[in-house]
Amino acid sequence: MIEKELQRYFGFNTFKTGQREVISRLVDRQSAVAIFPTGAGKSLCYQLPAMLLPHMTLVVSPLLALMKDQIDFLSKHNIPAARLDSTLSKEEHDHILERARNGDLKILMIAVERFKNERFRAQLRRMDISLLVVDEAHCISEWGHNFRPDYLKLPVYQKEFGIPQVLLLTATATEQVRDDVCGKFQVPKENVMVTGFYRDNLFLQVSPTPESEKLGHLRQRIDEAPKAPTIVYVTLQKTAESVSNFLRDNGINSFPYHAGMANEEREQIQNEFLAGKIDCIAATIAFGMGIDKKDIRRVIHYDLPKSIENYSQEIGRSGRDGKQSFCEILANRDSISLLENFIYGDTPGKEAVDKLLHKIQQHNEPVWETKLTALSFELDIRLLPLKTLLVYLEMEGIIRPKHTRFDEYMFKYQLEPSAIANKFQGERRDFSIEIFNNCQTKRVWTYVDMQGILSGYDRAGRERVIAALEYFSEKGWIELQSKQAIEAYDILKADFNAEVVGEKTIGLFEAKEKQEIQRIHNLVNFFEGDSCLSKRLARYFDEDIEKKHCGHCSCCQSGSAVIQRSIELPPLSTFSFSEMSREFFEIAGNYCSVLNITKFFCGISSPALIRLKAKKLEHFGVFERYTFLDVKIWVGKCLPRTESMKNKQQ
């Protein structure tokens, strides 16, 4: 029966390994987990059930490119599907929500952050949903390689909005991560499908390569088949640009791809690569997730990946058509510090953590509201670690997230306010009049005084006001907008011991930092191992393959690799601290700390350095290949002397 539906909706005659088992459980109204390698058909595991379950399937996806790619595929098969993201016009956005409310959509794709948006939450309560799908589900687990704090709330959202089933999808989950995500969503172990990670069509090559020889090696490799679709993965945005320019100068149809480019430019490059108009992409890890291109023949890591999990995902984008494909890493130890520095940059300083704890303790109201971007700059903590910090405080029982609300609602009248109110009777008419009486029109836009409405009308809650405004907008009576997202938290405990909580929280960050650093060293050890690469990669994800030697990896063919440092770095003591830090001192003001100077020298961006426009200074990132801790020790030794000299000069 399911095979007939597969043929009917997608034109496929057979399932790939594991798909039927997952789909059968979902159709039987059970929850499931699908752990399939990249390119093994995870998406079909929700796309077909979406057509067979009675109501809409809601898909949480971490990347805009993945959403667009999936929606394009579904549209070709006449599956009613849509995505909500910031690129949509107001008309497109409102039309999609209307289709979802009316049951005209079978699949709606969103980012996880949208669950906290009070306008979307008001709409969601009016939708019937059969299935919640979490793509890249390893993001839920603190033990995973790409933990995202916002994902921790997904089990709560599932219960809050009464979604009966969940499907968790990932390509990379160790047994520890598997157990963690199943526990959070209460999925029984017998509903976890793991299809294996071994790919016999991928040749895995480790090529020890000095930094000075990488470009030449890369050109020689690509010249072997210049038109073969290729992804070259790099660590830094500037490397993506320089590698792509080098290849293009040498006759290769190559373009860069990284998060620093405009969305339109990235989308155009991605589409042209998918269509075969571009042969080679030099990209950071921003590229590739969910990209449905079956004929990628080469994935070359110009720089080391971040972890074994990342490596597995990235090489998995090649050879999805089952044909022979080549995966090579140009390995040396020169970029290890670069990878480590990204991790160190995400660990907040004790002063910043103490400042946040003091802020919460001094707040006299039971609800604390904050704008995360502003808080990030105030504390000088990057946005992602700030969200993690707030999750840690939630786990400590100090705060509890309520919702995301908007500080400002405004609208344009399309009908006179009296005409809108007269469309209702009795109390609903009175409520509409109360809303409009608490609005102020300034030229074009009319601004809502939310507090005025709530104070003057005892039968109105904030959710009801939002629902009314959304309804007016749906009917075309007003054109509604909202601005300035504010996160609201209940303060559950303000009398905590700030010193103890601060030490414990910093300890959690340091443990996470240590774990991520260890991932990098595990990766290098993996590439230097003396047994079959394919077998060890499968074993890392708890899959045992019978072959002792796969025959399609460099270790099986030519033995183990030795990865060395190829660039000799002069001792930090040979540099003039006062000369190299002079420009930074001139602009730093209160941001002049050992931690910030170290980040400046190591090329690690932070809210403070963004505010100071430090990237434009000559010596930003001058020590990016040095170990962060070594630079920090050197700065700590030099800074007191420099401060003393400054005081004498003054």
> Rounded distance, CA 642 to CA 637, Å?
10
Does 343 or 291 have the greater pLDDT score?
343
Mean pLDDT for 615-620 is: 93
Question: Rounded to an integer, what distance in angstroms lies between the CA atom of residue 170 and that of residue 225?
Answer: 32
> Is the pLDDT score of 646 beyond 50?
no
Which band of pLDDT confidence, cut at 50, 70 and 90, is reported for residue 291?
low
pLDDT the model gives residue 642:
52
12 has pLDDT over 90: no
Determine what percent of the chain falls in helix, strand and coil, rounding each to the nearest 5. Answer: 50, 15, 35
Weakest mean pLDDT among 61-65, 204-208, 559-563, 602-606:
61-65
Percent of residues, the chain, with pLDDT higher than 70: 96
Three-class DSSP category at 650: coil
Domain of 302: which CATH number?
3.40.50.300
Question: Residue 649 above 60 pLDDT?
Answer: no
206 and 147 both lie in a single domain: no
Q: How many CB atoms lie within 10 A of CB 88?
A: 14
Q: pLDDT by residue (tens digit) across 492-507?
A: 999 999 999 999 999 9
Q: Quick one: pLDDT at residue 636?
A: 92
- The mean pLDDT of the chain is 89
Do 316 and 290 have their domain in common? yes
Q: How many CB atoms within 10 Å of residue 574?
A: 6
Which of 194, 227, 255 terminates a domain? The answer is: 194
| Pair type for strands 445-448 and 439-442 | antiparallel
Q: How large is the average pLDDT for residues 73-80? A: 88
Helix (H) or strand (E) holding 354: helix 350-362
The answer to the question of residue 612 being in a domain is yes
Average pLDDT over residues 212-225: 96
- What is the pLDDT averaged over residues 586-594? 88
pLDDT in tens, 534-559: 999 988 887 888 877 898 999 999 99
Residue 165 lies in a domain: yes
pLDDT of 410 > 60? The answer is yes
Q: What domain range is 183 assigned to?
A: 2-194
Over residues 11-24, mean pLDDT? 89
Question: Model pTM greater than 0.85?
Answer: no
178, 194, 210 — which closes off a domain?
Answer: 194
Instruction: Give 452-477 pLDDT, tens digit per residue.
Output: 998 888 777 888 898 899 889 888 89
**480 located within any domain:** no
Q: How confident is the model at residue 146 (pLDDT cuts 50, 70, 90)?
A: low
In this structure, are 184 and 206 located in the same domain? no
In whole angstroms, give the CA distance from residue 339 to residue 346. Answer: 12
> According to the model, what pLDDT value does residue 650 have?
32
pLDDT tens sequence across 92-122: 888 999 999 999 999 999 988 888 787 888 8
pLDDT tops 50 at residue 645: no
Q: Are residues 275 and 224 in the same domain?
A: yes
Other beta carbons within 10 angstroms of residue 616's beta carbon come to 9
Q: Is residue 96 part of a domain?
A: yes
Q: How many domains does the chain have?
A: 3
Interatomic CA distance for residues 181 and 3, integer angstroms: 30
